[in-house]
Structure 1
């Protein structure tokens, strides 16, 4: 009788001594952001502005009079696509197009805030849209002088949208685009 009890104790002992399994919290990569520094950039005859020194500015093939630029944040796999367009009396349509694009994100957005840009001395007016949530473009803006120039910008990442993990990068790029709006000059 003693043998079966010892055998039973040896079989039960490993299961009785283990701690209850506790799931580990989900971990995220730490994102180290470089120091903010800006450099002057211009497209002669069109615009002049300050962009982050860590950004690669690239022109893209364009149609007609439009100019397309990419501000590439290579370290964070993000790009701000800029489109400059001459107004040609179509300011209302251009602004409406920007609002329509912003509205396409409403179904996924947790919230959409807007910030007005009014710099009458430099003839720069516009709106910056902060689109919160897991959306394709978390930041959209337009700037204009209301007569000749219209600049539209949208931020995209080359990764699936995850607002929580991208939040520090999105905030930095929002700040960078705020600086771009503050230093923009029409030529």
Structure 2
């Protein structure tokens, strides 16, 4: 009786329990970053701004700085120039730097910035696509000061992969623009 049971039900159990195998969808890496706390950065340079307290700022001479984000493998490059009647040349250089990325960019969105109270005027460029930089800006008072900023990642420019980090740093760059004060 037991042998008969094993001969009938064992093969049925082995065959009947088989499930169709379905492939699982690819998972996506979720990158969450802590909310930024900003502190005022001031030194002997003729301007100051607020910076993410997780970023590392390093002077490069002549009031030029790098702002490093080691966890994201990215750096913001800030460049300061005096305006001595050559504002038009500075504006053309800033725009040229941005539009050199048009070859790899899918789109470049310009967002003007005006703060009449602080006399800070500028443009924020959001570069979409696999360009070397995802965001750039310039700010000026049109008379004495001109600052440009651009972010670069130390990775192959794959917009989909670096988008969370690019968005995070883009917000930091806007904070630099919006908190810029001339001395």
TM-score in same-fold range (> 0.5)? yes
1:52 deviates by 0.5
In the alignment, is the contact (CA less than 8 A) between 1:28 and 1:165 conserved in 2? no
Map residues 15-34 of structure 1 onto 2, 5 A cutoff.
22=23, 25-34=25-34
Indicate if the aligned counterparts of 1:114 and 1:130 stay in contact, CA closer than 8 A.
Answer: yes
Gaps of 5+ in 2: 1-17
| Alpha-carbon distance, 1:120 to partner | 1.2
> Aligned match of 2:132 in 124, 127, 136?
136
Partner of 1:93: 89
Question: What is the Cα deviation at residue 68 of structure 1?
Answer: 1.5
CA–CA separation in structure 2 for the residues paired with 1:43 and 1:151: 15
For the aligned residues, what is the CA RMSD?
Answer: 1.7
Q: Does 1:169 align with 2:159?
A: no
1:76 equivalenced with 2:68 (yes/no): no
Paired residue for 1:58?
A: 58
Contact 2:57/2:66, CA 8 A, preserved across alignment: yes
What TM-score, normalized by structure 1, do the two folds share? Answer: 0.82
CA distance, structure 2, for counterparts of residue 25 and residue 96 of structure 1: 48
Contact kept, 8 Å, 1:125 with 1:145, in 2: the verdict is: yes
Q: Distance in 1 between matches of 2:45 and 2:55?
A: 22
Q: Distance in 2 between matches of 1:175 and 1:164?
A: 17
Q: Is 2:170 aligned against 1:156?
A: no
Quick check: 110-119 or 28-37, which moved more?
28-37
Look up the match of 1:8: none
Counterpart position of 1:12: none
- The whole-number CA distance in structure 2 between the counterparts of 1:28 and 1:18 is 26
- Contact between 2:109 and 2:127, CA under 8 Å: does it hold in 1? yes
TM-score (norm 2): 0.84
Count how many residue pairs are aligned between Structure 1 and Structure 2.
Answer: 166
Unaligned runs of 5+ in 1: 1-16
Change (3 A) 1:77 1:124: same
Query: Deviation per CA, 1:75-102, whole angstroms, max 9, x where unpaired?
Result: 1000000001101111100110011111
d(CA) in 2 for partners of 1:33 and 1:115?
25
